[in-house]
A = this chain, B = another copy of it.
């Protein structure tokens, strides 16, 4: 958390109470991939006076500062996760089409693939996005 304070300072932003509160919610729900609205609802319990716009602005800022990472599960919401290590995004997501649950899965196999693509297509890859859609154990009765 001191690291984050540092990042804010370096980039000339203030780590205010509201921003801190929003970040706390994300940290406390690392496994959850929350949407702005969900974050808002949780933050409001502690800081009822906070505005939804502040949540959106803070999320944008945290994303810009590489503290969080924006995900797109194609469910109509932005979703965010903590960015443990800004350059290592080698876990991907299993999304249940029935209950909407999102699980994480680690995959390193993509690196070979990326090299292949870079060589064959002359395309310099800086990020990737891999999602698998299907049915989780619970929902395959």
State the A residues within 8 Å of B (CB). 72, 74, 94, 96-97, 103, 105, 107, 109, 113-114, 117, 120-137, 140
Q: Can you offer 28 A-B residue contacts whose CB atoms are under 8 A? A: A74-B129, A94-B117, A94-B123, A94-B125, A96-B123, A97-B126, A103-B123, A105-B117, A109-B109, A109-B113, A117-B132, A121-B137, A122-B136, A122-B140, A123-B132, A123-B136, A124-B134, A124-B140, A125-B133, A125-B134, A127-B132, A127-B133, A128-B133, A129-B131, A129-B132, A129-B133, A130-B130, A130-B131
Which among B117, B125, B129, B135 is the interface contact of A126 at CB below 8 angstroms?
B135
Q: A127-B133, A129-B130, A130-B129 are in contact. Are A113 and B107 (CB under 8 A)?
A: yes
Cα distance, A113 to B72, chains bound together (Å)? 21
